[in-house]
Amino acid sequence: MAPQPCSLDPVALTAWRWAPFLEHAVEALQPFEPGAYPIDAEFLRRDGFTGSKAKPTAVTTATWACRTAKLRQVRAACVEAGSSASVLNFVANPSCNFDLPFFGADLVTLPSGHLIALDLQPALKTDQQHTAIVWERLLPIWDHWQQLLPSGGPIPTEAEPYFSPGFLWTRLPLGSEGDALIKNAVFPAFEAYLELYLQLVEQAQPVSEDRRQELLAGQRRYVAYRAEKDPARGMLGRFHGPEWTEAYIHGVLFDL
Ligand code: DBV
């Protein structure tokens, strides 16, 4: 099936916990005049089942995507599987013509609780020119919101090069306590991270051809790492099969 433009409206999934986050992001992108980012029909929406044959749970994975002049691809992977899983994985991939980080959000609800990751992730972590202006503005925002949230615990050392010091990372319990923190800390943190990111996008100026090549190399490393280590691989494989999942991860989610 040929790639086709997907709707620029946020995906509509019944009872999807993370809908307000995607709706906010789509709204916040409007001033950048988003255009269509073509996605194969088989990845725009995929329905399936999980659980036992006797007690199946319906599963849907849906994709939202767009592009703007300075953002090569902005995409959301949206999973709704009732009490089994509810996920919004949202990544903005900048054009390598601009010295910009990635915007990454991983908002995951599993039977064991919520897992929340939010960051402006560097393409070139050890390059001051790339990181300084981002980190000096991000750290106060991180500090404010992370204080209200328990730490998510250690992350793998090999992941270090891809995270900023403003990586907001928490695990929250299901139920009213977690719900309140999502409303009062996670959502406003998501708004603040995205607001800063879109300010950086607005202010970004085109770079030289040499710089472009450096940024592209860094972006390729990041995207290859994310595709190789995608923590959703197991879950998506169970829901939709390994073949579809590999094609989705490499061809849509991390497609640089
Ligand atoms: N993560 C993705 C995509 C997802 C997704 C594309 C389509 O990159 C979901 C969905 N993340 C997802 C799921 C889990 C995690 C875990 C389902 C739970 C896996 C499981 O427990 O079975 C942040 N996400 C994680 C973990 C980290 C991140 C550190 C824990 C990994 C582990 O415990 O092994 N993902 C990581 C990250 C960003 C991100 C930093 C960017 C902000 O998107």
- Which pLDDT tens digit goes with each residue over 18-59? 999 999 999 999 999 999 999 999 999 999 999 988 999 999
Q: How far apart are CA 95 and CA 92, in angstroms?
A: 10
Whole-number mean pLDDT of the chain? 96
Atom number in ligand 1 closest to CA 61: 7
| 214 found inside a domain | yes
**Nearest alpha-carbon partner for 156 in 143, 169, 166:** 169
pLDDT tens column, 161-183? 999 999 999 999 999 999 999 99
Q: How far apart are CA 11 and CA 6, in angstroms?
A: 10
16 has a pLDDT exceeding 70: yes
CA of residue 163 to ligand 1 center, whole Å: 13
| 1 found inside a domain | no
pLDDT of residue 14: 83
| 4 found inside a domain | no
In the predicted model, what is the mean pLDDT of residues 156-164? 93
Pocket (CB within 6 angstroms of ligand 1): 77, 79, 87, 89, 104-106, 108, 115, 117, 119, 155, 230-232, 234-235, 253
Q: How far apart are CA 12 and CA 35, in angstroms?
A: 19
* Cβ neighbour number for residue 51 with a 10 Å cutoff: 15
| 3 found inside a domain | no
How many structural domains is the chain composed of?
1
5 has a pLDDT exceeding 70: no
CA-based torsion, 190, 45, 40, 23: positive or negative: negative
Q: How far apart are CA 180 and CA 242, in angstroms?
A: 36
Counting ligand 1 atoms within 8 A of each CB, the residue from 61, 89, 106, 116 with the most, and so the one to mutate, is 106
Question: Going by CA atoms, what residue is nearest to atom 35 of ligand 1?
Answer: 106
Q: What is the pTM of this model?
A: 0.96
pLDDT tens column, 193-243? 999 999 999 999 999 999 999 999 999 999 999 999 999 999 999 999 999
Determine the 3-state secondary structure of 174 from DSSP: coil
CA of residue 24 to ligand 1 center, whole Å: 21
**Residue 233 belongs to domain with CATH number:** 3.40.1500.20
Question: Going by CA atoms, what residue is nearest to atom 34 of ligand 1?
Answer: 231
Atom number in ligand 1 closest to CA 117: 42
Counting ligand 1 atoms within 8 A of each CB, the residue from 63, 84, 108 with the most, and so the one to mutate, is 108
7 has a pLDDT exceeding 80: no
Domain holding 73, by residue range, is 10-253
- Residue 119, class by beta-carbon neighbours within 10 Å (0-12 exposed, 13-18 middle, 19+ buried)? buried
| 134 found inside a domain | yes
Alpha helices in the chain (DSSP H): 19-29, 41-44, 128-146, 176-181, 187-203, 209-229, 233-240, 242-248
* Cβ neighbour number for residue 71 with a 10 Å cutoff: 23
Counting ligand 1 atoms within 8 A of each CB, the residue from 115, 120, 239, 244 with the most, and so the one to mutate, is 115
pLDDT of residue 2: 59
Instruction: Please give the residue that has the higher pLDDT: either 29 or 6.
Output: 29
| 225 found inside a domain | yes
Are 102 and 161 in contact by the 8 Å Cβ rule? The answer is: no
| 5 found inside a domain | no
Instruction: Please give the residue that has the higher pLDDT: either 88 or 15.
Output: 88
Atom number in ligand 1 closest to CA 90: 43
| 60 found inside a domain | yes
